[in-house]
């Protein structure tokens, strides 16, 4: 019924190729976004992981900070993974003094929340809207420390000292995960995002 949505992947840092591949596997068209002109052409955007303080600086250096905030405020669907989650959060618990986010998700995130000992780890977790479990790969990941009532919690850590911590959320057209589904070869989280994008296009909520 609808044409394939075009999903941009913010290409200033991170797993750009892997996200493009996952988007294509999930049935959408993927393209890189590095310029305001490219942002204007996409239906939705993925913000990959990386280092949120650096990404914040790069987004401003590429003159994308204002255009990104505008598109997000206008209801563009977006999916942020790891540092991308931080970029979409309204609040950071331990931000660098000059660190800014794009905002949109009514959550507080804590950067590098799992601590140095468990810098990177993997766990199978349940994810609302996805059958079975998802292999969640965490790399110096944030967690969601607080989420407002308008935020839907999709997944939590299930084992170990961080059990119960929120690691995936959705608020309207915005989706975020603390982990990196683009490197697991399982494209169901991207599939969920493509569904969100399709619904928003159909409902004209752009
Ligand atoms: N620790 C990084 C940050 O604070 C995020 C790590 C990642 O994206 N894999 O931005």
Average pLDDT over residues 78-94: 96
pLDDT for residue 1: 47
Domain 6-202 CATH (choose: 3.90.550.10, 3.20.20.30, 3.40.50.880, 2.40.50.660): 3.40.50.880
pTM (2 decimals)? 0.95
**What percent of the chain is predicted at pLDDT more than 70?**
96
| C-alpha torsion angle, residues 179, 116, 90, 33 (rounded to 10) | -50
Q: What lines the ligand 1 site, CB under 6 Å?
A: 49-52, 82-83, 86, 111-112, 139-140
pLDDT for residue 2: 55
- Average pLDDT taken over every residue of the chain: 94
Query: What confidence category does residue 205 fall into, taking pLDDT thresholds of 50, 70 and 90?
Result: low
* Measured CA distances, 72 to 26, 40, 121, 137 (Å): 22, 12, 31, 27
Summarize pLDDT for 141-160 with one digit per residue, the tens.
999 999 999 999 999 999 98
Checking if the pLDDT of 60 tops 50, the result is: yes
How far does residue 176's CA lie from ligand 1's centre (Å)? 13
Active-site positions read 82, 180, 182
Checking if the pLDDT of 47 tops 60, the result is: yes
pLDDT for residue 118: 64
- In the chain, domain spans: 6-202
């Amino acid at each position: 019924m609808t044409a394939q949505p075009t999903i941009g992947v913010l290409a200033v840092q991170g797993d750009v190729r892997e996200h493009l591949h996952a988007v294509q596997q999930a049935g959408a068209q993927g393209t890189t976004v590095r310029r305001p002109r490219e942002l204007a052409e996409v239906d939705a955007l993925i913000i990959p992981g990386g280092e949120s303080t650096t990404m914040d600086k790069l987004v401003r250096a590429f003159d994308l900070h204002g255009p990104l905030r505008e598109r997000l405020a206008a209801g563009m669907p977006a999916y942020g993974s790891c540092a991308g989650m931080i970029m979409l959060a309204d609040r950071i618990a331990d931000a660098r003094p000059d660190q800014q986010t794009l905002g949109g998700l009514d959550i507080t995130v804590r950067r590098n929340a799992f601590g140095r000992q468990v810098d990177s780890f993997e766990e199978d977790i349940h994810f609302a809207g996805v059958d079975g479990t998802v292999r969640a790969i965490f790399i110096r990941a944030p967690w969601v420390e607080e989420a407002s009532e308008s935020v839907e919690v999709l997944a939590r850590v299930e084992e170990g000292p961080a059990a119960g911590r929120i690691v995936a959320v959705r608020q309207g057209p915005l989706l975020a995960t603390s982990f990196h589904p683009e490197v697991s070869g399982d494209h169901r989280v991207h599939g969920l995002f493509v569904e969100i994008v399709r619904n928003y296009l159909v409902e004209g909520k752009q």
